[in-house]
């Protein structure tokens, strides 16, 4: 079993749609959780940290479920500019981030 | 620009040659990381520095790879006797405490 798993997609949605991605992790000792956005042939950019209480940043909401070992990202009112690959990352004891393979989102007009 | 910078952005080399990449982290970040990313995969951890000390190395970091951060500021990643399987994007990231901020990467192609 992979340490961090994501549905690769692609998720094809129209503008204005709400879309949700899930990410599961295998190590229950994982301590910190993040969502990154990566555009084609560009570096990952930190989108959000994910907290147990859930957190929201504009149209983006991230949640953590420690009992079931998954994190989620919800995007409301999708824009064309949201088209990208979304990577979840898990920080275990130590320092390295463990990334999933990413979920591809394509928003069309 | 106060972000993480990497040089060169692209490198094409022949198999068997040595290559060296440079990373300049965000100045107030004392943690620096190297990752490798291939198509369709997430970044994979290679190694980590806190200041000038290399504290962690992945099993991916074979003996052909070496990284340094001599003064606790910029870092270099050297690959000796490159192989075609080394072709990838090499990403550097720096971190305050939480979250890591990536540079634009060096895309290596080994022919």
Q: What is the residue-wise DSSP string for A7-43? A: ----EEEETT--EEEEEEES-TT--EEEEEEE-TTS-
The count of residues in chain A is 109
A15, two tokens: 């503008």
Q: Give the pLDDT score at A43.
A: 96
**Angstrom distances, CA of residue B67 to CA of B11, B27, B34, B51:** 17, 19, 9, 13
By C-alpha distance, the chain B residue nearest A89 is B42
Q: How many CB atoms lie within 10 A of CB B87?
A: 17
Is the pLDDT score of B1 beyond 90? no
Q: Give the pLDDT score at A52.
A: 84
- Measured distance CA(A26)–CA(A98) in Å, rounded: 11
B65 and chain A in contact, CB less than 8 A? no
Q: Give the pLDDT score at A61.
A: 97
B17, two tokens: 């040659």
Q: Give the pLDDT score at B21.
A: 98
Residues of B in contact with A98 (CB under 8 A): 45
- Cβ pair A52, A32 in contact under 8 A: no
| Secondary structure (3-state) at B32 | strand
A99 and chain B in contact, CB less than 8 A? yes
Residues of A in contact with B50 (CB under 8 A): 95
Q: Could A95 and B104 be called an inter-chain contact, meaning their C-beta atoms sit closer than 8 Å?
A: no
B88 and chain A in contact, CB less than 8 A? no
A84, two tokens: 């990208």
Q: Give the pLDDT score at B102.
A: 96
Return the residue in B43, B44, B55, B97 with the most chain A beta carbons within 10 A, the one to mutate for interface testing: B43
| Secondary structure (3-state) at B109 | strand
Give the tens place of pLDDT for each residue, A57-109.
999 999 999 999 999 999 999 999 999 999 999 987 666 899 999 999 999 99
Compute the mean pLDDT over every residue in chain A, rounded to the nearest whole number: 93
Find the mean pLDDT for residues A21-46: 93
Give the tens place of pLDDT for each residue, B49-87.
999 999 989 988 889 999 999 988 999 999 999 999 999
Q: Give the pLDDT score at B60.
A: 83
Residues of A in contact with B92 (CB under 8 A): none
Phi, psi of B79 (to 5 degrees): -120, 120
Strand blocks (E) in B14-102: 19-24, 31-37, 44-50, 53-57, 65-68, 75-79, 88-95, 101-102
In DSSP terms, A50 is beta-bridged to A33
Residues of A in contact with B67 (CB under 8 A): none
Phi, psi of A81 (to 5 degrees): -70, -5
- Measured distance CA(A6)–CA(A8) in Å, rounded: 6
Q: Give the pLDDT score at A1.
A: 63
Q: Nearest CA of chain B to the CA of A97: how many Å?
A: 7
Q: Which of A49, A95, A100 sits opposite B55 (nearest CB)?
A: A95
B99, two tokens: 């979250």
Residues of A in contact with B104 (CB under 8 A): 42-43
Is the pLDDT score of A48 beyond 80? yes
Residue whose tokens read 């147990």: A52
Give the tens place of pLDDT for each residue, B18-55.
999 999 999 988 899 999 999 999 999 999 999 999 99
Is the pLDDT score of A50 beyond 60? yes
């Amino acid at each position: 079993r992979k340490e961090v798993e994501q549905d690769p997609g692609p998720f094809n949605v129209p503008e204005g749609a709400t879309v949700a991605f899930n990410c599961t992790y295998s190590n229950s000792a994982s301590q910190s959780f993040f969502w990154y956005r990566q555009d084609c042939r560009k570096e990952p950019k930190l989108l959000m940290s994910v907290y147990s209480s859930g957190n929201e940043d504009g149209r983006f909401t991230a949640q953590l479920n420690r009992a079931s070992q998954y994190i989620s990202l919800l995007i409301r009112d999708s824009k064309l500019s949201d088209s990208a690959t979304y990577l979840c990352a898990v920080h275990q004891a130590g320092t390295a981030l463990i990334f999933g393979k990413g979920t591809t989102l394509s928003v069309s007009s | 620009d106060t972000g993480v910078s990497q040089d060169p952005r692209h490198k094409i080399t022949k198999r068997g040659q040595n290559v060296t990449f440079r990373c300049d982290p965000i100045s107030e970040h004392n943690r620096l990381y190297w990752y490798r990313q291939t198509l369709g995969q997430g970044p994979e951890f290679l190694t980590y520095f806190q200041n000038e000390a290399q504290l962690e190395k992945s099993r991916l970091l074979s003996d052909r790879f070496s990284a340094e951060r001599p003064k606790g500021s910029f870092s270099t990643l050297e690959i000796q006797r490159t192989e075609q399987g080394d072709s990838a994007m090499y990403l550097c990231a720096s971190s305050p405490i939480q979250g890591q901020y990536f540079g634009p990467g060096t895309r290596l192609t080994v022919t």
